[in-house]
Amino acid sequence: MNASAIAMLVIGVVILYGGLAYFISRAMKHK
C-alpha cells in the first residue's frame, strides 16, 4: 500500500477503534 493510504488507514483505526475502546472503557467503569 502507498504511504498516504497507510496514513488514512491509521487515522481511521485510531478514531474508530480507539474511540470505541475509550467509550467502552467508560461504560465498564460505570457498571
Partner 1 sequence: MERERWNRRSDFLFASIGAAIGLGNVWRFPYITYRYGGGAFLIPYFIALITAGIPLVIVEFGLGRMAQGGAPLAFAKIKKGLEWIGWLALFAVMSIFLYYSVIMGWIWNYIVFSVKAMWGANPNAFFFNKFLHISSGPGQLGGLNWMIIIGLALTWLWSYNYLRRGTKSIGKEIYWTVSIPWVILIIMVVRGLTLPGAVDGLNYYLTPNFKSLLNPEPWLAAYGQIFFTLSLGMGSLIIYSSYLPKDSDIANNAFITSLANCGTAFFAGFAVFSTLGYLAVAKGVTVPQVASSGIGLAFITYPTTISLLPFGAAFFGVIFFILLLTLGIDSQISQVEPFTAGFMDKWKFPRKFILPIVVIFGFLGGLFFTTRAGYYWIDIFDHFTCSYILTLVGLLEAIVVGYVIKASKMREYVNSVSEVKIGRWWDVCIMIITPIILGISLVMEIINTVRKGYGGYPGWVSFVGFGIVALFIILSVVLMKIKGKEE
Considering only residues 1-31, where is the footprint of partner 1 by CB under 8 A?
1-2, 4-9, 11-12, 15-17, 19-20, 23-24, 26-27, 29-30
The dihedral sign for the CA sequence 14, 17, 20, 25:
negative
CB 8 → partner 1: shortest distance, Å?
A: 3
Contact at 8 Å (CB) between 19 and 27? no
User: What CA–CA distance (Å, rounded) separates 6 from 17?
Assistant: 16
Q: Which residues bind partner 1 (CB under 8 A)?
A: 1-2, 4-9, 11-12, 15-17, 19-20, 23-24, 26-27, 29-30
